[in-house]
Structure 1
């Protein structure tokens, strides 16, 4: 009969108050799960069980014991019957919000990794905030009904919020848990880096930026210097290597990668403030994704890859189909057919288009004359350069440069 009453009271309490209510016996204590059995919650359970043991040594019939754990959470335990080893525990809950300052104090006392700060904060946010007197009144009423005794039960307090000296088993427990946390963080970071490399390989700017902003990559766990500017530089230099790897796997020729990664390395090291470094990762990701889209050769056959590489590296020379075919080791007719099949345009059209788009960058970023630019891109006939440029861009090289200056 009494067990039915206890079961009913436990279920009713669980429905009425937002706190976990459990019935347990000492002999079953090792199998009782107070929290999900994950590494973080294993630590919570470990400390709670260490708190319950002194309760079991001093409890008595019709006593209510308030246990304050090393995590500053509250549990109230009603000793229903010491003879029959029957107990009812309500908790965890907090009476007042747990401050960030207290969280870091707890982490320091319990010798656990700082990585757990965020988890601990979320844990406290998940706990109900209840006046302890409410919980006491509920347990008082249950005891009154079960024990048929209207005398107020004795109230004990076991306060372990000031952590006592731990034994060697605790040190081993925490060491193992911290190591597991570290390994998990490393695994998450490598998985995130693989995703980032994949996004840059495919030229996906938006997904690459989102992945980089995740803590596993952009957080302080890969920076080990106290100077904030140096920290940011170290992170961005690491990111530069990562981005370069993604673009390389995307099929971008090394010559372009060397040029771009070198440019970013210099820009990062020349920065003197956090403001200069603040949004640099966005520009870097954009540039590597754009490079992948513009210069990726991964979708082409080995012969066409070799052809494109030769053209790109010799754009300033007098390129002809015969010269390119001789370099590749194929007949001009066969190479022309293969090139047209894979790129949709003939070789000379591609070469001229490549020359014009190269000239756009020179017109924008140098003070070279239009004639000098024509020579650099293999079009030393200025009139022909003007004709090709206007056909492809819609205006003359001079008009294009003037438009840039007027902006």
Structure 2
């Protein structure tokens, strides 16, 4: 790769700095299309093709540009990247790829377009939505400045800095002051932990209104002092990481399927770390708690028997596929008649009605887009007959799909 003067270890140090400051995944792809350095915080969802397929194409483009150029690349699923060539003594060595990021906020329409254009399974909507929402948002000016930064950083060999700091003076802790602080704080701490327990119990039960009541009642009790006074952003991030973990545990306790728990937790872990200001971080507290709570409310199977719980999880994760009582029973290794009885007993409706209801709810998202044919939507959510889809939709909503579109314009 390149010539004998190229120092991969030095470039790795440069990319470590780049990764730390720009908060994006960073890779170095050598001139033979091999990933020689990879600094990645999260993986692409399995249903999205790897960016590695584009390496040969990007290689040819970047190598043909000047050493001070930055190539802006958008792939077929709307993920955006910056690619910068690495040159040493006029010899091309490969390119640095930073991303993915987005230049627009990914709303429901964006995710729907990705699913439709890339023919992805509708059951992956929640995972895809969590993934895209976790990505950094950059304006055109941001990406231009980022390109300049990467070009200048990668144009020169790495030089290690020498950190010089003054001697550390240990703080003086007086026993009387410590005892006074403990006495003053103990009641506040006890109150805070009581509210924390109530909050997590409400998350586990999926009680959104209870969450809002507790939040309003808490007031200033959750305004914790900075544990790292010189870095309030880091202090707030640490507290939010703890909150994310507590909510994850509460949601699992509340019967939320591990797939949903993982997707929500992963999304917020990345969002927390990539947030750059205190107002944005402060808003995340309520968002994290309410999203876990709502997910438990919608998807929890805690009150169901293990047989029905397995059936519901299989249905929710495979809506776009053919689903029958016999197929589901075979998948979870139970008798079909027994499953049918238990499902009606636990859920209150029969299994086929549950499947149809879930598919109708999923179809509403795409019907509101207005630019996808109803026939295509029917197939996307698992119906193989348009007339049957229309009948089921009307049974569930008292409207035909066309009437639903008109009523929600």
**Larger relative contact order (Cα-Cα within 8 Å, sequence gap ≥ 6):** 2
**What TM-score results when the alignment is normalised by the length of structure 2?**
0.49
| Greater Rg over alpha carbons, structure | 1
Q: TM-score, normalised by structure 1?
A: 0.49
